[in-house]
Structure formats: C-alpha cells, structure tokens
Structure 1
Amino acid sequence: MQEMYTFNDVLLVPQYSDILPGEVSLDSAFSRNIRLRLPIVSAPMDTVTEHEMAIALALCGGIGIIHKNFSVAEQARAVELVKRFENGFIRKPVTVLPDDTIAQVYAIRRDKGYKSAPVVDEAGTLVGIIGKLDYFWPHDKDKKVRDVMVPRADMVVAPPSTTLKKANDIIRIKKLSVLCLVDGADKLTAIVTRKDLEKNELYPAANKANDKSLRVGAAVGVGREAQERARALAEKGVDALVVDTAHGHSRSVIETIKTFKKDKNLKSVDIVAGNVATAAGVKALIAAGADAVKVGIGPGSICTTRVVAGIGVPQLSAVLAAAAGRGKTGVPLIADGGVR
C-alpha cells in the first residue's frame, strides 16, 4: 500500500531569503484566463457563497463561486448583483422614461439600490437624469419623472470616446454622482458613477474583469439542465462556470465540459471542473477542455464524501498527483479543501 500525506503531515524547511514580506506577491492563476490578487476561492455551498460573499471576496482580490442550490433565475440574479456592484463603464444602465411615475423610480431605488437613473425617451435619447434629491417620498409618488428631473440642457455629459480616467476626472471636478456618455445624436451609450470611483480607490486589489466589473464564478451540475443554467449565467456576465461534482473523473462531467466548450454562448466563460484526486482524472478533464481543475475528494473538515462513499486521497498527495497529470499544459489546479 502506497504511503500518502495530508498537508498536516509535512513542514517546510526554512532557507535563506532576501525578499521582504512587503515585496511578496500573492498573484496566482484561477483558470486559463482569470488571475487572482488573493489566492482564495470561496466554496459553492449554500451556507458559504451567495452574492454578498462573492462581492466581499472579489473586492479583496479573490473570487467567489455562487452555489447552485436555488433556481436558475435566483442564481443568475446573484451573479448580476456581483457584476453590477462595481463597474467602470456601465454599458446597460437602468433607465426610466419621462412619463414614468416617481413611484416607479422609487421601486428601482428600493429593489436595486440605484439612487440616480438616466431618463431616456423611447428611442434611447437622453432627455435628463433623476436622483434621490429631485423628489420627496412619498409626497411626490404620483408625479411624472419629466416634472422633477434635471433636463438634458442642464447636464454635464461626455462623448463615448472618453477614457475611464477622464470620466473620473470630470466626476471629481464637476462634483457629479453620475456622468452620462452620449453620442452625436444624444443617444445614451454608457454611464460612470461616483460610487464606483470611490470603490475603486478603497479596494485597489479588487479582482476585476476587462469591463471593470467584479469577477464571479457560479456552480453548475451536469446534463441538459446544466447547459440551460450555464447560458442564463453567461447572459448575466459570469466569468467562470464550475462543473461541481463529488466525482469529476466521470463521463457525465467530461461530456458536460465538451458541450460547454462548443457552445458559442459560453465562449467568453472559463470552465472549471472537478473534483478529482488522481493524475488520470486531471488528464481527462484537461483533454475535454477544462480551463482549470479542482482537486480534492472530501478533504475538508466538514466533508462527508469519504465517510459516505469510502473514497478519497490525502490532499497533499492528491495535489502532487494532479500536478503530475497536468504536465506542461499550464492548466491551473485548485486545491479544494484540507489546505489550512
């Protein structure tokens, strides 16, 4: 019988270093296309990761994986809350119409937390902006937006070519809450908010996508339902899909990875799969197209997989085997559990 080890079974031998603690970088790869400033990923468990945890972790440089133990719509909504929490240019802002009532505006403020909203006509032309100081609630609830909004003529706007740095400078100098970007025909193309500028300065290590939204992952299962769920999550901008099973070295997981990689709706989403604990398992998932592989069969302190199924590999040995299976492919491995 082969001798295997957990992380608690070994210690590192200290050696000479000329690197100061403040010079150490924790940057690491989560998947082929996603890097982390903080190498911590929160588990896709319903007692661990919903949108609040995912936001908090991404702000610190890590990434959260939204669990799948609720409906497709609820999981997609959780992803949307993370992606909308912090942005650079918001390309699809929530808008209101001139004939909407203040009651409708207040509903947006109550349900989504947005205190200001651009006002556009049916053609998408910017006609004004409304903020929380433009009305009294509930006294003005029946008034029309057009009666209390700041009209377009009194607004500071910028062209679509404006850089994020320039937009932030305008917000500071003009003391704006929201800067609207409009084209030559006054069509609204995007907005930049003061709130996002402040978040950016408070959390310089935040883990962000190219559009400056926070990174977030979401768990899916296998089969047809998984593809429907995956597409709904991709529509909300999820950065990574985690095919989350107790035994990842299986036909259903491999086929799900292949299906996802062929789906044009998921082409911008990294696919993470697992869990496995052998070199053969890692090779199989990488061959199927996985952008990262999760390693670990029941190593966590609260996991019951080993007790229930009678399977598993001590986590340090599992990681070493996985590294051998990965070879020179460069596909990241994620040690899942048992890594205190």
Structure 2
Amino acid sequence: MRFLNDVKPPYDLTYDDVFMVPSRSAVGSRQAVDLSSPDGTGTTIPLVVANMTAIAGRRMAETVARRGGLVVIPQDIPIEVVTDVISWVKSRHHVLDTPIVLEPHQTVADALSLLPKRAHDAGVVVDENRRPVGVVTDADLSGVDRFTQLSEVMSKDLLLLDADIDPREAFNTLDAHNRRYAPAVDADGKLVGILTRKGALRATLYSPAVDAQGRLRIAAAVGINGDVAGKAKQLLDAGVDTLVIDTAHGHQESMISAIKTVRALDPQVPIVAGNIVAAEGVKDLIEAGADIIKVGVGPGAMCTTRMMTGVGRPQFSAVLECAAEAKKYGKHVWADGGVRHPRDVAMALAAGASNVMIGSWFAGTYESPGDLQHDAQGRAYKESFGMASARAVRNRTSDESAYDRARKALFEEGISTSRMFLDPQRPGVEDLIDSIIAGVRSSCTYAGAASLAEFEEKAVVGLQSAAGYAEGKPLHASWS
C-alpha cells in the first residue's frame, strides 16, 4: 500500500479518515479474485469472528466456516463445553445447514422457541427413524394455539433432496418447484440437513474453510492466567485449528510468558496473540513465538478502554504499522475491531491485515448465541456486551470469592448490555458476509489485484475530511 501522492500524515488515522483511489486493472471479474488468507489459518475469505461470548458460538462457527471464515470460541467458556463445540463443528456438513429437528408430538411453543436459532426459519418434523414427515415455519405457526401438536399444523407436501446433490442442481430443483428450502436425506431416507436456495447458490460461490481431513475449521482462545499450558493442550487435543492467546493489553510479560509456554507444546497450528497497536509489541510477541498478531486497543463497539484510560490508537494506522513490522519476520496480523462497513474491511486489508476480526457487527444475527428479543416497536434485536465489561467479568470470575468478584467488577472497560438490531434485509450472518465479501472483491478489482497479497501491494490510499467521508454515504431520502 502507498499513500496518494506519497503524502503520509503526521497523525494517526481511522478507517473513516482514508479512501482508496482506483487503479488500472486487468482483473476481469470480481469472482476471479482469490480472497484466501496467506497466514496459514486456512480461511478462504478474510473474516474471523471475534472471541466474544455474545457472538461466537457453535451455530456461528458452523455457518461462518462453511463460507470460508473462522470463528474464535471465547476463553470464558468452560473447556469441556469448548471441546464439545469443536467436535460438533467438525462433524458438520460442508453444504447442508444443520436442521432444526422436531417430532410430531411436540408443540407449536416448542417450535417457536427454536426457529429463531436459524436464518432459514424452518423446522423439519421427523418420525422415529429420523425420516422427514413434514416441515414447519413461522408462517405455519402464526396465530395457532401454542399447545397444538406439530402433526396438526406441519406442511406434509415435502420436496426431498439427495444429501450429496450438486449445489447448482439443488438450486435449479428448488427454483423449479418454487421452494425456498428442502430437507436433504441420505440413501435410507434419513434426514441429513436442510438446504435453501440461497444456501445452494452460496455453495457455488464460497469455498469452506476445512482442515487436512476435510472438516470445517474452528479456533479457540485462552487467556494468559491460570493453567495456560493445560488448557491449550486440551484444545489442541480436541482438534482446534488455530489457537488464540488473548488479553486486552498484549504487550506485557505475562503474555510473552504465555506465548512461550504454548510454543513449547509444539502446536502444529498457528498461534495468534494480542492485542497490541505498535511495532515494538509485534516484535516482542513474534520473538516469543507468535505466528499472527492481533491488532487493536479500543476501536470495538463494546469497548470503553479509550474513554476510560486514554489508551489505544486509531485503527488504520495501528494495522498499517504492525503489519509492516510483522512482514519483516514473515508473519501476519489480524485487524481486530473498528469495522462497521464493508469498506472498513477493505481498508484493513489494504493496510496489511491477513484477516479482519468482526464482533458486534455479527451480534445482531440469527446465528449469534443470544435469545432473539423485540423492542416496543417490534424490532428484533439481540443483546451484546464487551469482554472487559462488568457482565463479562462476572461470568469469568464466577468461581472466585464474593470479595474478589466485587473488586474486579470495579475495573470494567466495556459495555455490559447493548441492543444490536437485526437488519431486516440482512438478518443472518451469511447475508452480512455476502455484503462484506462483495465489497472486498470490488475493492480488489478497483486496485487491480487478483489476491489479498496483490491488494496490499497495489492499493493507493488517500486522506479525506469528515465532509469527504459524508459525501460517500448513500441517501435514503431526497435532500430537498
């Protein structure tokens, strides 16, 4: 990346402060751009979901990995649960979504409690042999007594797909029958998964992030306190594909010690460590044994660190400096926090990030772990909270004494509750991924880049005023 007219400002920059200039391009198609990351994590799109309890769970991990990204399971979750999640995600299908499975004797209330867990909004009713006998959607259940059995309201007019059907053929079949989705079954007629028209289409556009055995990839985080080696070993034994060592202030002795401890286990997976915002931190963490450095202090939507402490750094400049330092060692950085639009992801990649972490942006989706709620106006939302908030600290210190928990709660640096509304046009995480990746692919073609490495090399970035940034925003109503 270079600055337009080679003008490098004497101050640090956020994503809003910069724009990209179009360059001569020989890239014939957006789909011809290779978005796989060079950092060894196996992502085929440069997106990583942050290790936040309100965002990163097994549904998110399955869905994002199927589209080529990676989800980091948080360090606050009990290790036994994390190992179960790893095993569960690695057993998921590459193309078919995991279905909501119901039985005929279950009630409308049972179905209504489960349907919001998946973007496809459909439950498959099966018999005692797991063969589909019907499907139910929210529309089928609307206005029906909650104690009514599903056998009385389910749709029995089923279209069944072969579990190993080609995605394009599946799309054409669904389109020909004017169906939005259909259950997929094996040779014995037993339910394997569910496939939507959009899901079939996406399966032709994205490549899943898979390990050497062809299983979906997943990452997990550990902290820097307690039995770091023991927890890391359990995660490695469970088959985790990337190990993240995480703390708010990554440039400290405890982090360096934790990295050395994990490196001594000789993991055959990338070690990610952070967070830091300066070249000195990159150097020290890489020399301790990290493969990838997580960059960002305070840019996240749930983070209050900068307002509480004055500590942090504008994210674009932090990523730019840290990526340049990591490159000297043949290593990489992840840009963690501060992205609110597809353009921000593109700017982070132009600055040198190999992957971009997304947190709160994905909180308002069907796939995040929280329960779907509605405000007084009927708008759907989910609650999100920061990992340094009082709420997260309470969860993290539940085994400690009341005094220690009360003392630690005084040092919060995050929001404990925030409503993240679902976008009616993009309520699922895959909808947001579509939007982000479309923007990033176009950014690469504007730069004349056929890969992420070329994008970092060829991007030309200029500085803009607040008015310049505002000029680029679309108007949803006339200005008169």
TM-score (norm 1): 0.65
Residue 185 (structure 1) aligns with: none
Residue 107 (structure 1) aligns with: none
Residue 177 to residue 280, structure 1, CA distance change in 2 (3 Å): farther
Residue 309 (structure 1) aligns with: 309
Residue 332 (structure 1) aligns with: 332
Higher relative contact order (CA 8 A, sep 6+): 2
Residue 35 (structure 2) aligns with: 26
In the TM superposition, what whole-angstrom CA distance separates every residue of 1:81-108 from its partner, at most 9, and x where no partner exists? 1122248xxxxxxxxxxxxxxxxxxxxx
Distance in structure 2 (CA, Å) of the matches to 1:323 and 1:132: 51
Residue 66 (structure 1) aligns with: 73
TM-score (norm 2): 0.47
Residue 11 (structure 1) aligns with: 19
In the TM superposition, what whole-angstrom CA distance separates every residue of 1:233-256 from its partner, at most 9, and x where no partner exists? 112110111111111111111111
State the 1:259 CA deviation.
0.7
Which ranges in structure 1 are unaligned for 5 or more consecutive residues? 88-130, 134-167, 170-174, 179-192
Distance in structure 2 (CA, Å) of the matches to 1:263 and 1:276: 24
2:14 partner amino acid:
T
Within 5 Å, give how 1:91-240 maps onto structure 2.
Answer: 132=130, 176=187, 195=192, 203=203, 205-240=207-242
Matched-pair contact (CA < 8 Å) for 1:218–1:242: yes
State the 1:301 CA deviation.
2.4
Residue 327 to residue 70, structure 1, CA distance change in 2 (3 Å): closer
Secondary structure in 2 matching 1:28: coil
Matched-pair contact (CA < 8 Å) for 1:283–1:325: yes
State the 1:177 CA deviation.
5.8
1:319 aligns with 2:319: yes
In the TM superposition, what whole-angstrom CA distance separates every residue of 1:255-312 from its partner, at most 9, and x where no partner exists? 1111111114xx2232100011000000111111111111111112221121223200
Distance in structure 2 (CA, Å) of the matches to 1:332 and 1:249: 16
Distance in structure 2 (CA, Å) of the matches to 1:235 and 1:194: 30
Matched-pair contact (CA < 8 Å) for 1:86–1:212: no
Matched-pair contact (CA < 8 Å) for 1:83–1:214: yes
Residue 260 (structure 2) aligns with: 258
In the TM superposition, what whole-angstrom CA distance separates every residue of 1:43-98 from its partner, at most 9, and x where no partner exists? 100011011111111001000001122211112222221122248xxxxxxxxxxx
1:278 partner amino acid:
A
Secondary structure in 2 matching 1:18: coil
Secondary structure in 1 matching 2:26: coil
Mean CA deviation greater in 199-208 or 57-66 = 199-208
Secondary structure in 2 matching 1:243: strand
* Paired positions, count: 246
Residue 120 (structure 1) aligns with: none
State the 1:195 CA deviation.
4.6
Distance in structure 2 (CA, Å) of the matches to 1:23 and 1:269: 29
Distance in structure 2 (CA, Å) of the matches to 1:68 and 1:75: 9
Residue 194 to residue 17, structure 1, CA distance change in 2 (3 Å): farther
Residue 102 (structure 1) aligns with: none
Distance in structure 2 (CA, Å) of the matches to 1:306 and 1:48: 22
Distance in structure 1 (CA, Å) of the matches to 2:77 and 2:30: 42
Aligned counterpart for 1:85 among listed residues 92, 110, 113 = 92
2:67 partner amino acid:
C
Residue 242 (structure 1) aligns with: 244
Secondary structure in 1 matching 2:227: helix
RMSD between aligned residues: 3.3
State the 1:132 CA deviation.
4.8
Secondary structure in 2 matching 1:65: strand
Residue 101 (structure 1) aligns with: none
Residue 273 (structure 1) aligns with: 273
State the 1:221 CA deviation.
0.1
State the 1:225 CA deviation.
2.3
Distance in structure 1 (CA, Å) of the matches to 2:93 and 2:263: 28
2:21 partner amino acid:
V
Q: Percent of counterpart pairs with the same letter?
A: 37
State the 1:229 CA deviation.
1.7
